[in-house]
Every structure is written in C-alpha cells, then in structure tokens.
Amino acid sequence: MPYSKAHLSNYCKEALTSVGVSAEHAAVVAAVLTSADERGVHSHGCVRMEGYVECLQSGGVKADAQWEVVSEGPAYALIDARQGLGIPVSVAATELAIQKAKKAGIAIVNVNNSHHHGACGYYTLMCAKEGLIGLAMSTGDIIMAVTGSSKNSIGNNPFSYAVPAGKYGAVCYDIAMSTVAAGKISMAADEGHSIPLGWLLDNKGNPTTDPNDYAKGGPLMPFGGYKGYGLSMMVESLAGILSGAALLKDIHAWNKNPEQGGNVGHCFIAIDPALINPSFNVPERAEEMLDQILATPKAPGVERIYFPGQIEQEKEAMAQANGILLPPATEHALERVAALTNIPFSKQ
C-alpha cells in the first residue's frame, strides 16, 4: 500500500518534536526526507529517521541547537551549526546562498559543526526552482579507499548540481564518489550474490567480488579510479577545510556512534544567470541542450537516454499521483522510531 506524503510527513514531525526538535525544524526535516522517498532515493528518505532519533536521544545531535552566522559578506557566509541536525541548517544555508546570489551573481555558504546532510539534490533543486544554478556538497565519514590505499581513507562525499531547464524542470545530478552505494553491496551480501570487481576492496586492500568483505572493513572504491578520488578531495576541501569542519578520520561515523557529534561540513554555491548573462535565457538554452542530448541516436539495446535527475523526477511525479511506496527497510526503521519515541507508526 502506498503512503500519502502527509501521513509520512506528519509522523516524522511528531517523532522529531517528541525528542525536542522545534516544530519548524521538524517540518523541514520531514519535507526533505519525504521528498527523497518520492524521488525514489530511499537511502536518503525516512529510513534516516532512526539514526536521527538515536543521535538526538543520545546527545550526539543537539535538538535545541541554534546555528549562528559567524562570518558574512555580500557573496559569502560561514555558519556554525552548533551540533544541530544537518538538514534544517542546510536548507537555511541554501536560502541564504540564493538570496545573496540574486544580488551578487554568485554566493557561497559554508557550514561546520553539522550532521548528516540528507540528499544534496534537495538543496540544488531549491536553487533551480528560483532560476539559479546550484551546487551542494558535504563531507562524510571515511568509508572509501583513495587510489592505492588498502584502507578506509576518505568519505564518499556527496556532490550535486542543478540547472533550471524550462519544460524539462531541472537537471539535477546527485552522486556519491564510490562506484556504488554501500547499500547496494549490503543487498548483494543479503541475497548471496557476488559483486563486480571495481566496487570493493577486502580489508587487506585486494580487489574483491565478495560483498561480505564490506562488513569485515573492506573499503568502497571511488568511481572512475583516481578521477573519483580527486573529486572526493574537492568536496573534502570545499565542504570540510573551507568550512573549518572535521577532516577525514576525525569525522565520526554518526550512524555507528550516535552519541558523538559529527562536525560534518557542507558547502553551497548559488549562481544567478540573470545577473551574469542578462542577454541570455539560461533555462531556454538548457532546454535546447537537453533536446539535443535526448534526441541523440541510441546504442543497441538502449531504450531511452536520460538527463541527470530525470528518473528521479519521473518517480516524483508518479509518487505525487499515486502515493509513496516504501521499501521494507524504511518501514522497519520507522517501527524502530516508534519503539524509541513511543509515537506509534501506523502503516497505511
């Protein structure tokens, strides 16, 4: 049975306020998580409620944290999240970047002392809906090997950009830096399948096809070899170093140690094409780009060519029409939230 967005959203709000989060912040978290589920990005949807509630209850995330802008100019700001939830401060940072970019042409807002970022694409789509180009990225705990390493040595640091694209809505690219998400490897382990070479190393640094090596401490591999490693370092630099957040091994694996603060760093960049290139209609031109890309001849066996974010956009439209189908893992997580908070979760 599909869930209505309102049902899921109300549950998230109720559970979060029950552990001390303000109604305003709880509403923002609920909107961001349910949006990810609508887009089929279940790894960043309501399944995260369990970890958030654990962190809030154990004090690793402070429910009543008030973020503070610690440095600011017309085109930049730096925000100290004061160990609060990552999602509300990320939405606020994006709003600030948009507001500044509309006056300055471009703006960058960095955040430190933050926590789990949620789906990056939410923030870049906020920019695209305002006619702006957006970039968003975040550090994460080290679960990937840099090229040549045998150990977890860098995060699979998520990165997103979005571009307004007229009739196509928006291009929205939202990736992590590993070849595949850890969830896909755990699923192969559960189902007893082997995995292709290039996804994972064993805990001695040898390439492996055994998904069980992940649970034994084997690191994920960066996508595209050293090119993915280098992009991950870009995110570490812009979201971690520039923000003054923790770096690499000092970023706590919050989902393993809920009571420890994460000091995660984020970076948001918004760009207003209307200021930079006033003689040019960027969304129209992005439409032309997509017209051309989508009309290119298909390779044998290929049914459709997609632009980045198109699949998620179509899933979103479907979920908005028919409700949200949740995977079992998300339902289990919400049942666990119910046990932790005593706020019953009713299936629809």
Note whether 129 binds its own copies by CB under 8 A.
Answer: no
Question: What angle do helix axes 23-38 and 120-129 make, rounded to 10 degrees?
Answer: 90
By CB under 8 A, residue 329 contacts its own copies: no
Among 16, 29, 89, 154, binds its own copies (CB under 8 A): 154
Question: CA 134, CA 125: separation in Å to the nearest integer?
Answer: 7
C-alpha to C-alpha distance for 133 and 303, rounded to whole angstroms: 29
Q: Which stretch binds its own copies (CB under 8 A): 54-62, 247-255, 324-332, 335-343?
A: 247-255
Interface pattern 5-44 for its own copies (x via CB under 8 A) = ----------------------------------------
Q: Which of residues 279-298 bind its own copies (CB under 8 A)?
A: 279-280, 282, 285-286, 288-289, 292-293, 296-298
Euclidean distance between CA atoms 267 and 244, whole angstroms: 11
Give the C-alpha separation, 48 to 15, whole Å: 12
Cα gap 65→115, rounded to integer Å: 12
Specify the residue, 12 or 119, whose C-beta has the smaller distance to its own copies. Answer: 119
Restricted to residues 259-278, the positions that interact with its own copies (CB under 8 A) are 269, 271, 273, 275-278
* Interaction residues for its own copies, span 86-125 (CB under 8 A): 104-108, 110
Q: How far is CA 25 from CA 12, 65, 166, in A?
A: 11, 10, 31
- Name the minimum Å distance from CB 116 to its own copies: 21
Q: Left, alpha or beta for 52 (phi > 0: left; psi -120 to 50: alpha)?
A: alpha
Min CB(158)–its own copies separation in Å: 12
- Does position 220 interact with its own copies (CB under 8 A)? The reply is no
